Structure 1
Amino acid sequence: MTSTVPTILLIGTADTKSAELLFMRECIEAGGGRAVVMDVGVLDGAPFVPEITHVEVAAAAGKTVAEVAASGDENTAMTLMAHGAAKLAARWQAEGRIDGMLALGGTMGTDLALDVAQALPLGVPKVLVSTIAYSHLLPPERIPPDLIMVLWAGGLYGLNSLCRSALSQAAGAVLGACRQVRAPAFGRPLVGMTSLGSSALTYMKTLKPALESRGYEVAVFHTTGMGGRAFEALAAEGRFCAVMDFSLQELANQLGGSCVNAGPDRLLGAGRAGTPQIVAPGAIDMLDYPAWQPMPAGLEGRPAHMHNRLLASALSAPDFRRGVAAEIARRLARAEGATCVLMPLLGIEGWDRPGEPLHDPEGLAAFTDGLRGSIGSATRLIELDAHINDDAFCDAALRVFDAWVADGTVPAGRPA
């Protein structure tokens, strides 16, 4: 929590949204904060002087405002301004000059704001007031996992009581977040772990306390798309001393065209950072889809599990799983650090047991064969005569981890 006056980077186009920006500045100041306005508009004629002018934003992108305006059309111009705005925001945050971000816009402003929000670290408060908040127009891979969005109701043109309500709410949200946020301390070595809800995967119940007793902090990420994005973002930053990436169905979902995916970088962040990773194919047999929509084409007739009214999963075909195995092997082969794959031969999620709806020995065998045939020599493959939810799986994971601690691959834990 901050005991000082929160400084909010307030982003918008001062040439067209001056009334809204000034109102939000007023709300921030009335709430005890300070606003630093960044003008990302291309046109001159703002009725006030922003703290960060559009000239500075364009310069950060290596252009003059005139060059931005002459770049082609509004799309190319705003893309250039987004580049400059993201660079400036990241620099100001790294220098400790801002505590959070508040942006507003329609489709253009939202497009830009998503780039700026992506440039700020996980844990820095980010609020976006948008006319397309939570819209299907927003690609999931562009949404930072900790972004707060507020619908800008009635906010297309000018102030009114509806949009004042949304703008003031957003100002309060970012102020409150900046005051209450507790930045990650990273006092003990942090292990990143992936999993699903405990009805599908349960190993975290054993592994988390076991690792904590060894002097590590453990963060478990829910692999339903956004959780995997957060996991990969932190892994790419080198925040983890090691990862136990045991739930990879986001990767299977991406390869299968499901919207429940974590983007193209899944299973790459830790490897790029040189972080040791123990990997298992938890839940790669399932292709997820929104439960409120029809089963996707190509999955008709496959066994399925309705998890809740939001999420459903269908069993993928054996040939598809061979492809998933090959892709896992390809991504691990690019890793700069130690890699080990644990392959449970008796099942890879809770519904993959005899008598359960997604039990499929043929599909599991196809994946296992594909993994054996494609895994690189730099990756150790350990086959286990166990289910992924058995104690034997946890024991195997801890044996690998402890061996890496003993030989210095993973730093030793520290008491809390």
Structure 2
Amino acid sequence: MKPCVVFIATYDTKGKESEFVKQRILEHGVDCLTIDVGVGVAPAATPDIGLKDLCAGTAYTVEAIRAMPRGDAVGVVSDLVEKYVTQLHHKGEMSAIIGIGGAGGTQIVTQTMRMLPFGLPKLMLSTLASGNVRWYLQDSDICMMPSVADVCGLNFIMEPVFSRFAAMAAAAAKWYAQAEAGLKHMITDRTRLRVGMTMYGTTTRGVTESREELERLQYETVVFHASGAGGRSMERFITQGAIHGVLDMTIAEIGAHLVGGLHDAGPHRLEAAVSMGIPMVLVPGAADTIVLPPINDVPDKFRNNRILNKHNPTMTTMRTNVEENIQIANFIADKLENTRSPVKILLPLGGLSSIDRPGQVFYMPEANEALFETLRGRLAGSPVEILEDPRHLYDSGFGKKAAGLLDEMMRQHYGA
């Protein structure tokens, strides 16, 4: 059976363009199943699966959907196509999923993509791809490609864009058709226990020392950049059973969630390891940091009496203060104080990041002590063991100690 690309598009506005993409895919020797999710007038071309097919067996009709306010209609169709495509995947009838669209199409297609498992190719050609797409990607492995011009018409810009997009989709589908069985095995394999880790540029040295020690001990490590999406992705893999232990050494996403930074991983950070009952060592690395927009775009509320650092031309970092570190500690305690899984917290009393040490811009020991003292108080008498080390997170040996703690917990949990 040939690999098959499932292609979702709004045929009422992008029928001609969708048929162009489909034909280019077929030219690469791959099947293509088109699904229309347009909520406007009748489609400009004939898809393989129409809105009527999506409505079959449900309480909805095409006429009823088209009579709805646009926002409501988009929501209904998003749910219908998600259910339909999920069934296709369960039947093994797809090797990739792609979509083209503007705001509405991108929302509909990526909702479905996010429900599909890691590894299945997900390609979205979107007018929004050059902007903030975090709400569309969330914790998935969707690949978004900018359309350059609007997804409207065939011209000297869009024909090459569509052709390149189709070639990518066909190649990805061919790869997945060969790799699918191996991917599923990799997710469930326990030949080497896997450890999820978190890292920033300002925690790299400590995390790297831990990672190298864990790999010496024969663990497979997966490092997630604590950018919001990274933390959510790690939590998702934990809940899927693909990660067996956690060394969480970069927790800036928690501060971002509480204060309003860019790297917000949402309210569920730290929950997955506890719910899955797997060992976790938490080091509050980068609790000193909130990531904000470029320096000229920092919100006014963060400009007065705050320590701001121009990390690079597109990113500003802000030092957390005493009150914010107390909030961060309380968030951690709320998530961990009733845990039934093995959890230890290792405090680097000498500093939390590369720029939190004497002479550096984020050096503020009173803020760190507020974090530490709140954790000590909140977690006293809880199942969580708090350990303290006088060293800085970057000092030689600290990362190795954190790795050794997790190794002890893993051996006890899974058996040496």
Pick from 169, 174, 178: which aligns with 1:174?
169
Alignment of 1:6-405 (within 5 A): 6-42=3-39, 45-46=42-43, 49-59=46-56, 63-70=60-67, 72-136=68-132, 138-140=133-135, 142-180=137-175, 183=183, 185-186=186-187, 187=189, 188-197=192-201, 199-300=202-303, 301-333=305-337, 335=339, 337-375=341-379, 377-405=382-410
Question: 323-332 or 263-272: which moved more?
Answer: 263-272
Under a length normalisation based on structure 2, what TM-score does the superposition of the two structures give? 0.88
CA distance in 1, matches of 2:141, 2:262: 19
Aligned mates of 1:58, 1:132 — CA distance in 2: 28
Instruction: Give the superposition deviation at 1:102.
Output: 0.9
- 1:87–1:119: 8 Å Cα contact kept in structure 2? no
CA distance in 2, matches of 1:295, 1:8: 43
Q: 1:211 to 1:292 in 2, by over 3 A?
A: same
Sort the Cα spacing of 1:236 and 1:8 in 2 relative to 1 into closer, same or farther, 3 A.
same
Measure the CA separation in 2 of the matches of 1:56 and 1:273: 39
Which ranges in structure 1 are unaligned for 5 or more consecutive residues? none
Cα distance in structure 1, aligned partners of 2:408 and 2:402: 10
Q: How many residues align?
A: 405
One-letter code of the match for 2:126? S
* Structure 2 gap segments, 5+ residues each: none
- Partners of 1:229 and 1:60 in 2: CA distance: 34
Cα deviation for residue 60 of structure 1 reads: 7.5
- How far did 1:99 drift? 1.6
Structure-1 separation of matches of 2:378 and 2:363: 24
User: Within 2, Cα distance between the matches of 1:47 and 1:294?
Assistant: 43
Distance 2:338 2:126 in 1: 39
Partner AA of 1:175 in structure 2: A
Shift of 1:283: 0.3
Q: Distance in 1 between matches of 2:57 and 2:217?
A: 46
Alpha carbons of structure 1 residues 358 and 172: separation in structure 2 relative to 1, 3 Å:
same
Tell me the CA shift for residue 335 of structure 1.
4.9
Q: Which amino acid aligns with 2:389?
A: L
Q: CA deviation at 1:206?
A: 2.1
Query: TM-score, normalised on structure 1?
Result: 0.88
Secondary structure of the residue that 1:307 maps to in structure 2?
Answer: strand
Shift in Å, 1:352: 1.2
Quote the RMSD (CA, aligned, Å): 2.6
How far residue 285 of structure 1 moved from its aligned partner, in angstroms, is 1.0
> Matches of 1:334 and 1:58 in 2, distance apart?
45
Indicate the larger mover: 310-319 or 201-210: 201-210
2:136 and 2:285 mapped to 1: Cα distance?
22
Deviation at 1:277? Answer: 1.7
SS state at 2:196 partner: strand
Deviation at 1:218, TM superposition (A): 0.5
SS at match of 2:296: coil
Identity of aligned residues (%): 27
